[in-house]
Structure 1
Amino acid sequence: MEQSFDIPAQKPWSGIVKKGQTIRIEDTFGQQAIDTIFYCADDYSERYSSQDTLRAQGSAYITTGSKIMSCEGRVMLSVTADTSGRHDTSAGCCSCESNTVRFGHDTLYQHACRENFILELGRYGMTKRDIVANINFFMNVPISANGAMTVDDGISSPGDHVEMFAEMDVLCVISNCPQINNPCNGFDPTPIRVVIKG
């Protein structure tokens, strides 16, 4: 069985991935950041942990072979394929507040990932307090020798994808990033596709 979802530019999405299923997140047009948080479908208080995930693989990035870890130290998903090469989980998601600090107060009205997450989490009885450090699939965040991070031009091409095998039932919550002030989306947010199969 296969389900396919086309997610418009700048919009949120969520869905359940059952244990044993595979979720494929596709950067349809290239250079599009896809902010993602996973929650245990049976208990939303167990959710993605960037710290445990990075510690588990001893790497600053997520790619093929990475284990997506929960705050309870359990494996939520395993990355089985990745055509892009690496994905950030340190830079967090954009918000109206951070936009004003980085790009000026005239950007306050612009939609952001934090607002997308708030809208989508509300469907499951969660609030902004349930937003945790997320994965930024396809976002290029080089880290220099002194630990400084920058958001750089995206390195993903049209059709690049990452596939993950669910090790438990998970709720996947996505913000198809609406950021237009830095190069994470090539300054032009585009649609993406999610496929759940198995």
Structure 2
Amino acid sequence: MSNILYTTTLPGNGHWSLELRRGSLMKITDLTGGANVGMLFYNPRHLLERYNAPDTLKCQHTFKLQRGNCLYSDMGRIFASIIDDYSANGEGNWHDTVCGTSTAQMVEQQFGKRDYQRDRNQWLQNGYDAFLVELAKYGLGRADMASNINWFSKVIADDKGNIQLDTRNQAQGNSVTLRFEMDTLVVMHACPHPLNKSSSYPFTSVRIELGEADPVSDDDYCKNFRPENQRGFQNNALYYLAAKH
């Protein structure tokens, strides 16, 4: 990845949001192992258009996200493509987009109650409220919440259909790189996955690098990963053609 323009660290109970332009690139790296990054996407020009987990999975015939997958809106357009997915321990990355996010009740029951007024930066934030704090900055709220992505979190099902978090592939240095195919409002947090069974709150930080992506070529891996992705890129092209004229 070249032409990195900005680097920051998101702490293990932190949240952030920003607008990224079409052609931007974001690389997220797990700094300690065991990180979870919840993320949502919105069209900053039409905030009713947002990330759609069911369409993302079913049109690419998958249960997980990995390199090659595109991240779809509810209008059939592509917010971003996963252009790189590095696994430090060789187990392979697996990113969840079906389990949702942690809530205040879940965090309090598992880790105890802490609040910012008393505990300051060591308070125990939950994913749902973290999203709401960021969404409020753009006039959005509970009604605008959607199923989110959980980067670096692998979920598996047993023979009885019970879903659990599999931590074997979590490792320091795991990374995922996104190329944004649309102007996108990105909302994120680094709070625990809802299936995390740790006995202590996981303050696992991630590094975020922002830059410019190379232009999309005809033989682009993500564009050709599934036939449906070709249509998604065409929908994006039509959207920007109509906006231009």
TM-score (norm 2): 0.72
Runs of 5+ in structure 1 lacking a partner? none
Tell whether 2:51 aligns with 1:37.
no
SS of structure 2 residue aligned to 1:121: helix
Tell whether 2:165 aligns with 1:157.
no
**Equivalent position amino acid for 1:28 in 2:** L
Deviation at 1:151, TM superposition (A): 2.1
Distance 2:106 2:84 in 1: 32
Residues 94, 66 of structure 1: alpha-carbon distance in 2 compared, 3 angstrom cutoff: same
Distance 1:12 1:92 in 2: 16
Counterpart for residue 68 of structure 2: 65
**Larger proportion of strand:** 1
Deviation at 1:21, TM superposition (A): 1.2
Residues 181, 20 of structure 1: alpha-carbon distance in 2 compared, 3 angstrom cutoff: closer
Tell whether 2:95 aligns with 1:87.
yes
Q: 1:28 aligns with which of 5, 28, 31?
A: 31
Distance 1:167 1:28 in 2: 27
Equivalent pairs, count: 196
Alpha carbons 1:7, 1:176 under 8 Å: kept? yes
Distance 2:57 2:182 in 1: 19
Alpha carbons 2:125, 2:191 under 8 Å: kept? no
Deviation at 1:128, TM superposition (A): 1.9
Stretch deviating more after TM superposition (173-182 or 68-77) = 173-182
Q: 2:188 aligns with which of 169, 174, 183?
A: 174
Stretch deviating more after TM superposition (181-190 or 126-135) = 181-190
Q: 1:121 aligns with which of 129, 135, 148?
A: 135
Residues 125, 157 of structure 1: alpha-carbon distance in 2 compared, 3 angstrom cutoff: same
Alpha carbons 2:82, 2:179 under 8 Å: kept? yes
Distance 1:31 1:105 in 2: 16
Deviation at 1:144, TM superposition (A): 3.2
* RMSD, aligned CA: 2.5
Distance 1:37 1:179 in 2: 14
Alpha carbons 2:164, 2:195 under 8 Å: kept? no
Counterpart for residue 190 of structure 1: 204
Runs of 5+ in structure 2 lacking a partner? 88-92, 116-123, 213-245
Distance 2:59 2:199 in 1: 29
Counterpart for residue 140 of structure 1: 154
Deviation at 1:185, TM superposition (A): 10
Residues 99, 168 of structure 1: alpha-carbon distance in 2 compared, 3 angstrom cutoff: same
Counterpart for residue 56 of structure 2: 53
Alpha carbons 1:154, 1:184 under 8 Å: kept? no
Residues 48, 179 of structure 1: alpha-carbon distance in 2 compared, 3 angstrom cutoff: closer
Counterpart for residue 144 of structure 2: 130
SS of structure 1 residue aligned to 2:47: strand
Q: 2:79 aligns with which of 73, 76, 79?
A: 76
Distance 1:183 1:50 in 2: 24
TM-score (norm 1): 0.88
**Equivalent position amino acid for 1:91 in 2:** C
Deviation at 1:184, TM superposition (A): 7.1
Counterpart for residue 18 of structure 2: 15
Stretch deviating more after TM superposition (187-196 or 162-171) = 187-196
Runs of 4 or more off by more than 3 Å in structure 1? 97-100, 103-110, 144-147, 178-181, 183-187
